Chains A and B, each alone.
Chain A
Amino acid sequence: MYFQKKRVIAMLLAGGQGSRLKVLTEKTAKPAVPFGGKYRIIDFPLSNCVNSGIDTVGILTQYQPLELNEYIGNGQPWGLNKTHSCAQVLPPYERHDKKSGWYKGTANAIYQNIDFVDRFDPDYVVVLSGDHIYKMDYAAMIAYHERHEASCTIAVRNVPLEEASRFGILNTNPDNSIYEFEEKPPVPKSTNASMGIYCFNWKVLREALIADEDDPKSSNDFGKNIIPKLLGAGHKMMAYPFDGYWKDVGTIASLWEANMELLGKEPAFDLRGDERFKIYARNSALPSSYIDEEAKIVNAFVAEGSEVYGTVKHSIISIGCTIGKDVVVEDSVVMPGVTIEDGAIVRNAILGENSVIRKNAVVGGAFGPQDKKKISVTSKNAVVEENSVLRPGDML
């Protein structure tokens, strides 16, 4: 078979369970979790690749891959199904030398797919994760990486000092070269948090992966092992500052917040933005939405294929939902295919795909003054029975 040489390919780590999303990832891998009415989380890194001119993407899957694999399919929604492009799903597999099996860590996942990468003989490999919401031109980052003749470039963003100990922190010289990496430091020296977006010279990464695999003490992780080892070996590593919107949607609260940040006339994260930097999603062939004469929709997103008869305020209504008469949905994320029957009240909630809220049920409520954000969550296909109550912060 003929493989065209590529300057850059991307490897997208999409195998994590996302256990902090609790019931939402019981049956779904985190990258396949719906977002923003018609998208799934993985649409963001995939669209970023396409918008950055990267046409070859390996997608490393492991946890609950069925839905994710179906969603990615042949990569057609992102234009990755052409003769010289691909979106290749790479699940763990069995090998003759037993250096195989489940992906032990993020680095091991790439290690097990060295053959895939080698086929394209790339100069650079961009390693991405499938759980962040952002728009980024990786081409600009690669140009920066080239300009600085680095072995590895890591995208960083400035975080508040009090939050810095939750991240991998990169301590840099004035020219943005990295001299130290600290994973979740108790006393952070700087506020440059790694965004989990790496650009490597493939030759350097390839060697490092092989060496790391031979180290029995390694947990085969990029942050914990590969980056410190490369630094220790004296490779030139650069921090690439990024100040656009970026959100790790790894928790219920952050997923809810990121959805809410799409709303408003000038939203924190503007999905419309630049026409040339669209986010692509698999299309579901649903008709336009119907908005009834009794409906009242204020500061909200409603995606296609929905029917709205009730009141929707400051919420995301995804594709194929029904919002019944006298329903009130406020400050909530309603995922695809949800039915909310007449008279139900939903506040501060995330309703999982195809869940059903029966008549006059109450889900969630106002945050109390002392409460942290208590978001009520229903899992995929859950049913909240007629007249029943799902209290603030509860999960079903």
Chain B
Amino acid sequence: MNVMGIIFANDANIGELTNQRTMASLPFGGRYRQIDFALSNLSCAGVRHVGIISRHNYQSLMNHIGNGEEWGLELEEGGLEFLTPYAQSVTHTYRGKLESLSNAMNFLEFGAEDELVVMIDSAILSNVDLVDILNKHVQSGKDITVVTKAGVANGEKLLDLAVKMENGEVADMVVDYAAPEGYLASMDMFVLNKKWMVQQVKEMIARDKFHMDRDLVLGGWQRGKVSVNVYEFQGVALFNESVEEFFYNSLALIKKDVRSDIFHGNHPVFTKVRDRVPTYYGEECDIENCLVADGCMLEGGVEDSVLFRQVTVGKDAEVEHCVIMNDAVIGEGAELKYAILDKNVTVTPGAKLIGTKKSPIIVRRGETV
């Protein structure tokens, strides 16, 4: 099977944490960036031609991914391509996925015509068996496969795309709507036949339609022009589409069932290697129920938290329910509860930062508090 992957790098925005970076380069899970999960899903399925569509703020992303060698994408043919907007073709940033795809025609039309295309988003993280999804897509004979997750729709969470199934067929489909329980939420992961997709993108753009979910999937399905196969993913899918969700999911990763699903042994999640030394646990540290990456120096107390690489926690510090990104220095006796520390934050000795579960305190990159 010839398969190419397309990853959308900034389809969501969660405020301060994504002000200076794409959603794709948002740190997650102690040692990863969000995009690592999409790249690893593709890599583990043997996909060796991946385009990353990025609208803006892609510098940290390019720095993270480099030539893609960590994901086996440093190839002469195919490999990894950054598909960024260029001034000649569009003076604005992309309005929707279809428009960005139409700008990436050179990439899409490269290679065999019988290829399948996998589209993955950077905000929803999972460790899927893509080979199974691709096989099911081919077996279904449908135009497009939407990968979905049950149990996400609750009548409150706004979903990009949701479907209701009856007797194995799509009975209802909604876009940008807080669908009630019983609907399957799209994981913003699609499989399409390339040749068909290229034609659809051209036709949609010709009619000034640029929204993938609304115009192509929903519109096409309603008009009976697009046949939709729905794949229900049984594993863990983490929807990091708001600060609250990002915070909740970051800490959920500490739980064994979530952790062992997202990081299951057969499909590793690859990321940029940093060559940090193992974490040192000092004489008086007290670490409970935490995920800890390499390179930390721990002398204080940390509970129910995720520590990224190279974090220093001073003596008598108390850290609870926190997400502490790379290179933070937490001074002696500092007290942190329900906080997200972006990279390179310094917490001075004795400082107190107390947030809540619903709205954690966010300390911006490089700041000192």
Contacts and interface: CB of A to CB of B under 8 A. Distances in A.
Contact of B29 (A265, A271, A272, A287): A287
B273 A77 contact: yes
A342 to B, nearest CB: 15
Contacts of A281: 275
B110 interface: no
Given A76-B69, A286-B268, A38 B291 contact: no
Interface in A65-95: 76-77
Contacts of B281: 297-302, 312
B278 A302 contact: yes
A288 B292 contact: yes
A13 B276 CA distance: 26
A288 B291 contact: yes
Contacts of B263: 287
A36 interface: yes
A291 B290 contact: yes
A289 B269 contact: no
Interface string B297-312: 0000001001100000
Given A293-B289, A298-B283, A303-B294, A285 B275 contact: no
B277 interface: yes
B94 to A, nearest CB: 32
B202 to A, nearest CB: 39
A294 B281 CA distance: 15
A292 B288 contact: yes
Contacts of A291: 287-292
B268 A285 contact: yes
Q: Which residue of B278, B283, B291, B307 has the most chain A CB atoms within 10 A of its CB atom?
A: B278
Size class of B's contact patch? 35 or more
Contact of A304 (B278, B280, B282, B303): B278
B275 A278 contact: yes
A38 B278 contact: yes
A289 B270 contact: no
Given A288-B306, A299-B282, A299-B283, A271 B292 contact: no
B271 to A, nearest CB: 8
A317 B278 CA distance: 9
Interface string A267-289: 00001100000111101011111
A36 to B, nearest CB: 7
Given A293-B289, A298-B281, A287 B269 contact: yes
A290 B287 contact: no
A151 B50 CA distance: 53
Contacts of B289: 291-293
A295 interface: yes
B29, B280, B285 pick with most chain A CB within 10 angstroms: B280
B30 interface: yes
A288 B293 contact: yes
Nearest to B303: A293
B200 interface: no
B288 A295 contact: yes
B279 A302 contact: yes
Contacts of A303: 278-279, 294
Q: Say whether chain B's binding surface is mostly helix, strand, loop, or mixed.
A: loop
A37 interface: yes
A287 B263 CA distance: 7
Contact of A301 (B268, B270, B279, B283): B279
Contacts of A283: 273, 275
Nearest to B31: A288
Contacts of A289: 279, 291-293
B63 to A, nearest CB: 17
Given A271-B277, A293-B289, A287 B259 contact: yes
Contacts of B294: 38, 303-304
B278 A36 contact: yes
Contacts of A286: 268
B31 A304 contact: yes
B278 A285 contact: no
B254 interface: yes
A290 B275 contact: no
Given A288-B31, A299-B283, A304-B294, A293 B278 contact: no
Contacts of A285: 268-271
Scoring B285, B287, B295 by chain A CB atoms within 10 A of each residue's CB, the highest score goes to B287
- Among A77, A283, A291, A294, find the residue whose CB has the most chain B CB atoms closer than 10 A: A291
Interface in B290-338: 290-295, 303, 306-307
* Residue of A288, A293, A301 most packed against chain B (CB within 10 A): A288
Contacts of B69: 76
Nearest to B298: A297
A341 B264 CA distance: 20
Contacts of B303: 293
A277 to B, nearest CB: 11
A271 B277 CA distance: 7
Contacts of A263: 280
A297 B283 contact: no
Contacts of B275: 278-281, 283
Contacts of B290: 290-291
A332 to B, nearest CB: 15
A301 B242 CA distance: 35
Nearest to B290: A291
B125 to A, nearest CB: 13
Nearest to A318: B278
Interface string B225-260: 000000000000000000000000000001010010
28 contacts: A36-B277, A271-B277, A279-B275, A279-B277, A285-B270, A285-B271, A288-B29, A288-B292, A290-B256, A290-B291, A291-B288, A291-B291, A292-B289, A293-B288, A293-B303, A295-B288, A296-B286, A297-B287, A298-B283, A299-B282, A299-B283, A300-B280, A301-B277, A301-B281, A302-B278, A302-B279, A302-B292, A303-B294
Instruction: List the 5 closest A-B pairs by CB distance, nearest first.
Output: A288-B30, A37-B278, A303-B278, A285-B268, A297-B281
Given A265-B282, A300-B280, 5 more contacts: A37-B277, A271-B277, A283-B275, A288-B293, A300-B281
